[in-house]
Amino acid sequence: MEETQRQKKIGGILQQDLAEVLQKAATDGGLRGVIISVSKVSVTTDLSIAKVYLSIFPNKEAQALLEGIRSNTPLIRHELAQRTKHQLRRMPNLEFFIDDSLDYIEGIERSLKGEDNPIKDQDLLDKRKKK
């Protein structure tokens, strides 16, 4: 089902404020050279849950940072509520996910360039078989 204008507006507000909050927390926490960007925020129709998709660079630290962000969700939610108190009545619950769309696109580009050739590398065939 397509998002309503209200959902899109709330998602945009949350995306902008979340990016600022997370980047500030990363720099205050001593994480230099780590870029956290909020690639998408989708809000449910009843505005109770916001699914937040994060792109974290460098990618090797993504899972550890995601766990830290998930453990600090109440603090992040409180900070967002303070920032958006004049725009939202209730702050939705936040669910954080890693956005792997860039890795997916990179894999498609590698396949199109012929770098992942299953004929030359037989190990790739096992990944592509349906179970």
Domain positions in the chain are: 5-121
Average pLDDT rounded to a whole number, residues 10-25 = 91
Q: Which two tokens stand for residue 4?
A: 């309503």
**What single-letter DSSP state applies at residue 100?**
-
98 and 56 Cβ atoms separated by less than 8 Å: yes
Average pLDDT rounded to a whole number, residues 96-124 = 75
45 and 107 Cβ atoms separated by less than 8 Å: no
Number of Cα atoms under 13 Å in the Cβ half of residue 61 = 13
Q: What is the mean pLDDT of the chain?
A: 84
Q: Determine which of 9-23, 25-39, 112-126 has the lowest per-residue pLDDT on average.
A: 112-126
> Rounded to two decimals, what is the model's pTM?
0.77
Closest CA to 90 of 41, 42, 49: 49
Determine the 3-state secondary structure of 40 from DSSP. strand
Highest mean pLDDT of the ranges 9-13, 84-88, 115-119? 9-13
Cis bond before residue 58 (omega within 30° of 0)? yes
Q: Cα 106 to the chain's mean position, in Å?
A: 17
Average pLDDT rounded to a whole number, residues 43-51 = 93
53 or 117, which is more confident:
53
12 pLDDT more than 70: yes
**Distance set, CA 82 to CA 41, 59, 77 (Å):** 18, 30, 9
131 pLDDT more than 80: no
> What are the backbone angles phi and psi of residue 98, rounded to the nearest 5°?
-85, 135
97 pLDDT more than 90: yes
79 pLDDT more than 70: yes
Average pLDDT rounded to a whole number, residues 45-52 = 93
The fold adopted by the segment(s) 5-121 is: GMP Synthetase; Chain A, domain 3 (3.30.300)
